[in-house]
Structure 1
Amino acid sequence: MDRNIRTVEDVLQLLDGLFAPEADRWTADAASWWDGFYADRSKPVPFFVAKPDENLVSYLERGLLTPGRALDLGCGPGRNALHLAAAGFAVDAVDLSPAAITWAEDRAREAGADVRFLRGDAFALADTELNGPYDLIYDSGCFHHLPPHRRISYLALLDRALAPGGHFALTCFAAGGMGSELGDTDFYRQSRLHGGLAYTSESLRRIFSELSEVELRRMHDEPTESPRFGEPFLWTALWRGKGLP
């Protein structure tokens, strides 16, 4: 007989266990699934390209972001982390998958980029393992792979790791473009996330209502020959935290 639930984290871990390993990018059980996903670097996966997100490039070109400390959540092969480093940021980049981190480190060596890569669960990393607080927290494609209950952990991470007045930037599946549009409760009934959750602009504004919106739009569709990554089935959003920088 198990009667071990005492804290909020105990409840979150119990809910993690209701899903298949691939459902939660941050749990230890999911690492092997993501390693398999990243094993074949030649797969025609859109974000395997060595290009930064078009919205990130735009933020920098328009002066909406200036160099400082940056954290890349779910960095994958490191394409945005490398661009931030080239723009003058001191970058920490974290991913659960050792295969993803190895690929990102290979790219960084080839580019001569100075990025600090961390393999692990970003929610569980101690503050001493991170070089925060961060002037920018960037997430390209991680948030929409989280089960609904892990939004609590995500918001807690932003709260403790984002510097006063810092920026949080996100790209995620857009309803009507890609991702499952089931209600939150249905994911628990089915024990699956169906490849990721789609979000509406209204739901994103509600979830991140403690932050000040700078811009929220669909990602621009970039042609194959473009030096930027862009797919219109994604939202791009930029928020600013409370307090003075």
Structure 2
Amino acid sequence: MNFINTIDDLFCMLDRYTEGVDWNTFYIKRDKPAPFLKYNKLPDKCVVDFIREHNIKNACEFGCGEGRNAIYLAKNDVDTEAYDLSEIAIENAKRNARESKAEKVVFKAENIFALDLMEKKFDLVIDSGIFHHLAPHRRLQYRDIVSSILAEDGYFILLCFAAGQDGADEVDDYEFYKSKQTGVAFTEERLKEFWGERFYVVDLHKGENIVDNQMWESEYLYVCVFKKD
């Protein structure tokens, strides 16, 4: 018999009503038209732009994939911790870091909701692919985590599926559980409403289709820069 006695019990029960993604299989098969697979060694344009304009000492990336943003940060003298749920992605990230001679980065395959990061503070937190895959109950917990590990005046860079584009469809929170979504898109208004509870909105705009030998950006994503309020 199963009983709900704690908030963790409740979250675990709600997790069962979502499909999730098998990320190890995703990175092994590599059969999805995801730009972050195709451009797996190029950082996001917004990360490059941000580092050019800010003096950041340390950073944390959630959903780091094969390390493209974290390696870029490390090569720009930023002490970086990077996490992903996929062991395969992390192994690839470690190999890419060695090949790039990026020494100031630590990669770990971890579930962020099982991590104990409460004693750490970062100047910058980056999410280039987790938030739009989280179930609604986990989004609230995730917002708490990001807020708690950011230093005062720290920044949060978020890239997520934009409503009306090819990444995913906009689905309200009740429908998410009924249809067992694995990813959803957001409107600009919804992003401001949700993240504005904890953060000041520095920038929020639709990306453009940009690729060169240094970085990339896609029109199916919203690019968001928030500052701890």
The question of a shared fold, defined as TM-score above 0.5 by the shorter chain, is answered with yes
Q: How many residues align?
A: 224
2:93 alignment counterpart: 104
Distance in 2 (alpha carbons) for counterparts of 1:197 and 1:21: 12
Q: What do you get for the CA RMSD once the two structures are aligned?
A: 1.7
Q: Which residue does the alignment assign to 2:137?
A: 149
What percentage of aligned pairs have identical amino acids?
35
Partner of 2:117: 127
**Displacement of 1:87:** 1.5
Which residue is equivalent to 1:56? 47
Distance in 2 (CA, whole Å) between partners of 1:44 and 1:170 is: 21
Structure 1 gaps, min length 5 = 23-32
Name which of 169, 174, 188 aligns with 2:157: 169
Do the aligned residues in 2 keep the contact of 1:216 with 1:236 (CA within 8 Å)? yes
Displacement of 1:14? 0.7
**Retained in 2: the 8 A contact 1:54–1:219?**
no
How far 1:123 sits from its partner (Å)? 1.6
- Please show how residues 1-245 of structure 1 align to structure 2 within 5 Å: 1-2=1-2, 4-22=3-21, 33-40=22-29, 44-48=33-37, 49=39, 50-61=41-52, 63=53, 65-114=54-103, 115-127=105-117, 132-177=120-165, 178-190=167-179, 192-193=180-181, 195-209=182-196, 210-223=198-211, 225-242=212-229
**1:149-198, Cα deviation, whole Å (9 max, x unpaired):** 111110121122111110000000000113121211112112x21x4110
Change (3 A) 1:44 1:183: closer
User: Secondary structure at 1:127's aligned position in 2?
Assistant: coil
TM-score, normalised to structure 2, is 0.92
Greater Cα offset, 41-50 or 100-109: 41-50
The superposition leaves residues 7-47 of structure 1 with CA deviations (integer Å, 9 ceiling, x where unpaired) of 2222111100112242xxxxxxxxxx111100145865310
- 1:40-73 deviation digits (Å, cap 9, x = unpaired): 4586531021101011111122x1x322110010
3-state DSSP of counterpart to 2:217: coil
TM-score, scaled to structure 1: 0.86
Distance 1:135 1:99, change over 3 A: same
Residue type matched to 2:50 in 1?
Y
3-state secondary structure, aligned to 2:94? helix
Gap runs ≥5 in structure 2 = none
Aligned 8 A contact 1:67 1:87 in 2: no
SS in 1 for 2:124: strand
SS in 1 for 2:18: coil
- 3-state SS of 2:219 partner: coil
Is contact 1:181-1:198 (8 Å) kept? yes
User: For 2:29 and 2:14, how far apart are their aligned partners in 1?
Assistant: 31
After TM superposition, where is structure 1 displaced by more than 6 Å over at least 4 residues in a row?
Answer: none
- C-alpha separation in 1, matches of 2:17 and 2:31: 32
Deviation string 1:57-99 (CA, Å, 9 cap, x unpaired) is 11122x1x32211001000000000111112110000001100
Between the aligned partners of 1:43 and 1:239, the Cα distance in structure 2 is 30
One-letter amino acid matched to 2:110: G
Q: Which residue of 2 aligns with 1:25?
A: none
